[in-house]
Amino acid sequence: MCIEDYRVETRYLTPDIAMPVLDFTEARLDDAFGLLPVYIYRFQLPSQNVIIAAEIVEEHVSTLEYENIQQIADIDIVEDEFKLISSIVYQRGVPFAEVLILPFRGSAFTGITILDSCVLHIEAREIGTSMKITGSFVDNSVLATGLWYRMAADATGIYRITYEDLSQMGINPSTLDPEKIRIFGNGNGIVPERNSDERIDDLQENPIYVHGEEDGVFNDEDYILFYGESSTTWNYVPFVGFGIFQHKINPYTDKTFYFLNINDTPGKRVPLAEYQGLSPTVFVSEFSDYAYHENDTFNILKTGREWYGEKYSEKTSYDYT
C-alpha cells in the first residue's frame, strides 16, 4: 500500500474562516477523524461469516514539514500510533472487508510522522453462522426489597427533595431513618438496541447528600440532594480546529427516571474531598456552554423515529429567543 502526494492546503470552512488541512491523493474523510484525511483499503470477501483483523507489518515513514503544525485542522486527534479500523461493509448485499488507516502519528508538539507506504497483514477468519453471547447477571434485582418511589428528571442538574416532596409521594418523613434513604438510576441516553452491546444489568445506586441526617430524624428543614440527567446526551467532538458539542435526543422519552428507595440498608453518600490547604492558581470567569432548539412535532410517514420541527412552507420565518 502506498500513500502519495502529502500536502497542506488552505480550506475555507466558512467565507470568513480558513484553516490549513492535510490532504493526499485518494484521501477520504471519516466522521471519527474530523478533517484529517484517511486511507481506505477495500476488498471483496468470499463469505459474510468472517471477522477481520489488520496490522502493519512493514512501514516506510517521513516527517511532516510544516511551520505551524498546531494550526492544522484536528491535528490534536493524532495519537502515538497509526490508527487502523477494520470492518465489514456491504455493497448491494456483497460483503467487503474495509481497513481504514489514519496515516499520522505523534503530536503537534513533538512532530508528526507520516506513513508513506506499508505492508498490511489482513486476516479474514471464518466464524460460525451463529454466535452465542454469554454474560453474568445479578441473581436478584435491587427492586426486590424495600419501598420504591419513581421520580422524573427533565433537565441535567442538582435536584432537591424536601420534607413536603416526600409527603406528596405518600411517605411520612418523620418516621424515616435518613441514613436508610437511597436513590437509584442509570443516567441518561438510549438503552442499547443491539443485544451484543454492553449494558448495565440492574439499577445502580447514586451517591446523594442528605442535609440534617446526623440526628437520625428527617425534620421539616431537612432535604435530599442528588444529581440527575436529562434524556438528551451530549458529546464534545474536537473537530475542525475548535471543537463542537453534539447532542442526541432520546426518541422514546423526554425524561430520565430515578428511584427513591427506603429499606434497612444505609445509602451511599457524596464523599467529602480532603482539604489540601492550597491557594488557588486558576480563576475561571467564563466557560463553554451549549443549548439546542429541536421540536419533535411532525413525523412525515407517521412511523419510525424521524421527527421534524417547524415547517418552512407557508410560513418562511420564525423568531427564536
161 domain-assigned: yes
Identify which has the larger pLDDT, 181 or 133. 181
Asked if residue 170 and residue 104 are part of one domain, the reply reads no
- For 233-269, the pLDDT digits (tens) are 988 766 555 567 888 889 889 999 999 999 999 999 9
Asked if residue 108 and residue 178 are part of one domain, the reply reads no
Q: Whose grid coordinates read 424521524?
A: 306
Asked if residue 17 and residue 74 are part of one domain, the reply reads yes
168: Cβ contacts below 8 Å, ≥ 6 apart = none
C-alpha dihedral sign at 21, 22, 25, 27: negative
Q: For position 47, which CATH number holds?
A: 2.60.40.3800
Give the long-range contacts of residues 239-247, CB within 8 A, separation 24 or more.
Answer: 239/34, 239/35, 239/73, 239/74, 240/13, 240/19, 240/34, 240/35, 240/73, 240/74, 241/19, 241/35, 241/71, 241/73, 241/74, 245/288, 245/290, 247/290, 247/292, 247/294
C-alpha cell at 134: 454469554
291 domain-assigned: no
Asked if residue 103 and residue 180 are part of one domain, the reply reads no
Asked if residue 252 and residue 208 are part of one domain, the reply reads yes
293 domain-assigned: no
307 domain-assigned: no
Residue 130 clears pLDDT 70, i.e. is over it: no
Asked if residue 102 and residue 159 are part of one domain, the reply reads no
62 domain-assigned: yes
Asked if residue 114 and residue 21 are part of one domain, the reply reads yes
Asked if residue 151 and residue 109 are part of one domain, the reply reads no
CA nearest 20: which of 79, 68, 78? 68
Asked if residue 108 and residue 58 are part of one domain, the reply reads yes
25 domain-assigned: yes
The Cα–Cα gap between 148 and 138 comes to 19
Asked if residue 170 and residue 101 are part of one domain, the reply reads no
162 domain-assigned: yes
Query: Of the candidates 262, 278, 295, which is a domain's last residue?
Result: 262
- For 265-286, the pLDDT digits (tens) are 999 999 988 888 889 888 999 9
Are the CB atoms for 97 and 39 separated by under 8 Å? no
Give residue 240's pLDDT: 52
Asked if residue 151 and residue 122 are part of one domain, the reply reads no
Query: Of the candidates 226, 245, 262, which is a domain's last residue?
Result: 262
Percent of the chain past pLDDT 70, that is, above it, reads 93
The Cα–Cα gap between 233 and 67 comes to 38
The Cα–Cα gap between 264 and 181 comes to 9
Query: Of the candidates 218, 239, 262, which is a domain's last residue?
Result: 262
Domain that holds residue 25: 7-126
- Domain count within the chain: 2
Residue 112 clears pLDDT 50, i.e. is over it: yes
Best-predicted range by mean pLDDT (6-10, 67-71, 222-226, 244-248):
222-226
Residue 132, classed as helix, strand or coil, is coil
CA nearest 185: which of 150, 147, 209? 150
pLDDT band at 23 (very low <50, low <70, confident <90, very high): very high
Give residue 129's pLDDT: 45
Percent of the chain past pLDDT 90, that is, above it, reads 45
The Cα–Cα gap between 62 and 115 comes to 7
Identify which has the larger pLDDT, 101 or 199. 101
Asked if residue 65 and residue 11 are part of one domain, the reply reads yes
Residue 136 clears pLDDT 80, i.e. is over it: no
278 domain-assigned: no
- For 172-225, the pLDDT digits (tens) are 999 999 999 999 999 888 887 766 567 788 999 999 999 999 999 999 999 999
The Cα–Cα gap between 321 and 314 comes to 22
* Mean pLDDT over the full length of the chain: 87
